[in-house]
Structure 1
Amino acid sequence: MESVLSVHPHDDFRLEIRFNTGETRIFDARPYLEKGVFAQLKELSKFRQAFVARGTVCWPDDLDIAPETLYIRSQPL
């Protein structure tokens, strides 16, 4: 199973993610910014607070996206 090793948030609401597979991929978070609790990430300063915990990308207030989703819905860099 894929897990996240590092994340770099970009100002265009994309995440540059390095996975334990050795791949670096780009995940476009914009579609999620209109959904439920993720709407708070529309504020760029909040989006930039992305960090890695428990093998996935997280934000304050217990927000996270499953590593499988991040991998499947991302594109190779």
Structure 2
Amino acid sequence: MRRINWIHTNDDWTLDVSFADGEVRRYDVRPLLQSEAFKDLEDVAIFKTARNGGYFVAWDNDADLSADTLYLEGIPVTPAIESS
């Protein structure tokens, strides 16, 4: 099971998630907003309550996503290249 180092909520209902192996992935929560468990997250204020549970991300409305789901379904984020 993968471990989450940190998460960042974005205004477009995506999560940037850093994993213990150094990988950073972006997960789009929007497709889940139509399901009952995630419906409350349509309110960006509730979406922004996401917290790192180590092996999952959870929200104040009791919705959660496993680290494995976030990793496997997330898109790798390439760090910005700094110009010299």
Under a length normalisation based on structure 2, what TM-score does the superposition of the two structures give? 0.85
Q: Which residue does 1:26 correspond to in 2? A: 26
Percent identical pairs in the alignment equals 32
Could you list the structure 1 runs, at least 4 aligned residues long, displaced by more than 3 angstroms after superposition: none
| Structure 1 residue aligned with 2:41 | 41
Distance in 2 separating the partners of 1:16 and 1:54: 14
> What's the offset of the Cα at 1:27?
0.4
* 2:31 aligned counterpart, secondary structure: helix
Q: How many pairs were matched up?
A: 77
Residues 1-77 of structure 1: matches in 2 within 5 Å?
1-77=1-77
Contact 1:5 1:55 in 2 (8 A): no
Gapped regions of structure 2 (runs ≥ 5): 78-84
Shift of 1:62: 2.3
TM-score by length of 1: 0.92
| Cα RMSD, aligned residues only | 1.0
Task: Give the C-alpha shift of residue 18 in structure 1.
Answer: 0.5
Which structure 1 segments of 5+ residues have no match?
Answer: none
Stretch moving more, 51-60 or 12-21: 51-60
